[in-house]
Chains A and B, each alone.
Chain A
Amino acid sequence: MTSKHTCDISVAITGSGGAGSITAGELLLSLAGKNGCFGMMRRSFGPQIRGGEAAALVRISHQPVECMNDGFDLLLALDWNNADRFAEEIALRPDSLIIADPAAGQVPEAFLALGREIIEVPMKALATDIASGRPNMVALGLLAHWLGFCGDEAGKLIDQTFGRKGDEIRSGSRMAFIAGFTEPLIHAARDARPRPERGKSLFSGDRWHFNGNQGCGLGAIRGGIRFAAAYPITPASDLLEWLAPRLEQLGGSLVQAEDELASINMVIGASFGGVPSMTATSGPGLALMTEAMGLAVASETPAVVINVMRGGPSTGVPTKSEQVDLNMALYGLHGDAPHLVLGALDHADCILTTEWAVRLAEALQTVAIVLSDQNLAQSTVLISEPEYQLPEIPGRAVAEPMEGYLRYEITESGVSKMAIPGTPASTYVADGLEHTESGKPSTAAADHLAQLDKRARKLETFEFGEHWADIRGEGPTAILTWGSSSAVAREAASRLTANGRDVKVIALRLLLPASPDKLARELEGIRRVLIVEQSHSKQFYRFLRAYYAIDAETRVLARPGPLPITPAEIVEMIENWS
């Protein structure tokens, strides 16, 4: 949709050694929000804890966006130290603009290209002239002006952000911002691309500013989680940090455990006690938790494990994203251990999927693994306030005090009532050992079969409703995907549709149990299916082959991290599909 109000601009800000490029990027995104825009910001870092090279990657648009664009319109470098690291992530076009500080030296070879306009602004010098002025605030001013943002809003934002650091820093930051905002060199920059109109937004209603980790946390709380036990791990730690004070506010708690083994077992213990409980981790932690997740399945104790995927295998690429824990989530439990696996499709979906997972885990008395990824977790978005409607799901089936209570009673639905400790007469011993209906350990064939059937049946016969997938569009070609690739696929699909190629995007949210009949219905009449995933070994494709029958002609776009899949890659693959 083109109009003078439409804009879609991607800006990269790099800097090192405490330059504050990330702060500048965050402020830029917030400023965009204040100016009626939507947007998204990712971060990329060197390996240092502090003082390393860092890049803030920001996309600003008048329409909601949920993924990064193919490339960047502008790169602002506060300095060039170790900036080569970001060269492959910051794809520049010949018509991209580079703003650099002449004091930082030559623009590195990696970023140069024929015809790229370079504007040199002495940001450091400008900042030095101002007491407590910093180059990154000068940069923010430059960008704010170039993007057409309102200066007053910026002032308020700066006050909010730096207010606590004292008056000198606050006013120094303001002044530095103004220096950049009013810098003649940026006024002279020419750009044909439409810029955000001040204060105008095409969409009414509230917008939200949050990241995927916070979304999962909120979903968990909405679902009823009141206890968490966890061990810090990148990139899940900030989810836990967001959750801890809020659980306490709600009368619950988060316990930092000694390791992931303790975490998942604490979760099971708390859940056994009647409190919906969860943990959050990443690949290496999930691997440690597999035994206990089996215990949750066998003992039929609800538990939610949010796994924020990162580059694997083993220690892998901890600060980057990949969709490579699917295999472990699906198949990692020993024995025949049916359980729930869900994947959040985008930032707003982190809330929905996690809330849904909690409610399902409680109703079905099993473990729900929620797969998020670093891409969603640690990128911030400005989107419309998420709205969704989950189907009615019963809460945990709780047993009354009764004589002759059978914890694992064979029922038609497969769900049997759970006695909460404190309930008289209905005492029982939960067990990982196979058991009779009363919970007494058993090796008898009939008991094992009956309990296996029970645990499988409760999932297989449950009606999950329409949220099993997110389906948009119609067309002879479908993109079949999951997780954070979904937003990329949707953007690619809207570009293709705009160019006359109708594409349907089917993003699976519920991975286990599989929904072969539902997918078969959605694929009726579809001639071509492109499977998109961020995995070297095609984990999603092989899962589809195992559980689903896809008659259409199939191709796979499977690429590992660390670079995000771009809409252009998907568009190209479909356009060149002869």
Chain B
Amino acid sequence: MDQAAKPIALTPKDFKSALKPVWCPGCGDFAVLNAITKALAFMGLPRENVALISGIGCSSRIAAYTSVYGFHGVHGRALALASGLKAARPDLTVLVAGGDGDGLSIGGNHFIHACRRNMDLTYIIMDNEVYGMTKGQASPTTAPDWTSSKLTPRGSGIRPFQPAGLALTAGASFIARGFTGDPNGLAKILVAAMEHKGFSFVQALSPCPTFRPEQMQWKLHVSAFDEETSSDPVEAAQRIQADDGMSTGIIFRNEYPVFRPGTGVDRGMGKIESEFTI
């Protein structure tokens, strides 16, 4: 982001496209869209300098609802698309969004490598612990005893990932958790995430009213972490492990080396055309 540019007086609405979201009424993703647009408006970023990259799933439809540049790619590969874009265009603010299935199942490998690579990206997983788009299967963050999916009628029987823990171990330099019931809090986290130089991971707890109606009770259980943000991965690990996975706040932040491939400086063809001549 060009610090010297004058902030433009855009409202959150300016960052929304004319398309009306088709998410089910009650879906947490509406709040994520609001939080993202509020954060972008607050930061005064010109729309043309922002790109939102998404995968496949209900959450991934978010790209079409914004008026910044976007790419609605294939399932699980949004982080790869975004990494390529950021490598080629380090001048852009690149946001990546998707669901817990898109990001942690098929996208799992790209997720851990994106954390490790630490490019200057902001990645939001809208976590509703289910595959909504394909009618309600268990995801890698679903509890093992959830029996409402025909695909796993006796429950998955597999312990879920803790996304924040996964991100920490994989080397992410900014880890936060937000809740769609607190869109302003989420917007504040997103501003910090975007301002952070490096890979920022934000897990947004985002209830699904259609396939996980019991999640509408989340608002009774979610609360902020007591502690301040930690820069010590050991401390952060303990915090994450000791938590029930529902506490919000910026859990961890540290300045790790940011991966920026190439120098951006063209030194000319030099010997390239003559190196094969005998």
Contacts and interface: CB of A to CB of B under 8 A. Distances in A.
Is there a direct interface between A and B, measured as CB atoms under 8 Å apart in the complex? yes
A33 interface: yes
Contacts of A430: 70-72
Interface stretch (B148-156, B159-167, B226-234, B257-265): B257-265
A265 interface: yes
Contact of A424 (B48, B267, B277, B278): B48
B74 A291 contact: yes
A68 B137 CA distance: 57
B192 interface: no
Contacts of A265: 73-74, 77, 80-81, 84
A269 B70 CA distance: 10
A529 B184 CA distance: 73
A295 B56 CA distance: 12
A251 B264 contact: yes
Interface string B67-92: 11111111011001111111111011
B19 interface: yes
* SS of A interface (majority): mixed
Contacts of A424: 46-48
Interface in B78-119: 80-89, 91-92, 109-110, 113
A248 B262 contact: yes
A229 interface: yes
B81 A422 contact: no
Contact of B73 (A226, A255, A432, A441): A432
Contacts of B74: 265, 291-292, 295, 432
B113 A262 contact: yes
Given A250-B267, A252-B262, A269-B82, A427 B73 contact: no
B47 to A, nearest CB: 6
Interface in A365-389: 382, 385
Interface string A248-292: 111111110111011101111111111101000000000000011
B213 interface: no
Contact of A266 (B49, B80, B91, B269): B80
Given A209-B276, A254-B261, A433 B72 contact: yes
Contacts of B68: 427
A295 B80 contact: no
B72 A227 contact: no
Contact of B49 (A253, A272, A421): A421
A113 B109 CA distance: 56
B64 interface: yes
A218 B275 CA distance: 11
Nearest to B56: A432
A249 B272 contact: yes
A382 B277 CA distance: 9
B243 interface: no
Nearest to B92: A421
A393 interface: no
Interface residues of B, number: 52
Contact of B83 (A208, A255, A292, A419): A255
Nearest to A254: B261
A210 B276 CA distance: 6
B84 A427 contact: no
Contact of A227 (B52, B84, B109): B84
Contacts of B69: 419, 421, 427-429
B278 A208 contact: yes
Contacts of B265: 251
Most chain B CB within 10 A, of A269, A274, A275, is at A269
B77 A261 contact: yes
A207 interface: yes
Contacts of B92: 273, 421-422
B132 to A, nearest CB: 17
B109 A259 contact: yes
B73 A295 contact: yes
Contacts of B52: 429
A251 B262 contact: yes
6 contacts: A33-B278, A255-B84, A255-B87, A268-B81, A270-B88, A422-B91
Interface of A: 33-34, 206-210, 214, 218, 221, 226-227, 229, 246-255, 257-259, 261-263, 265-275, 277, 291-292, 295, 299, 382, 385, 401, 419, 421-433, 440-441
Interface of B: 17, 19, 46-49, 51-53, 63-64, 66-74, 76-77, 80-89, 91-92, 109-110, 113, 261-270, 272-273, 276-278
Given A221-B272, A227-B84, A431-B64, 4 more contacts: A209-B276, A251-B266, A258-B113, A421-B48
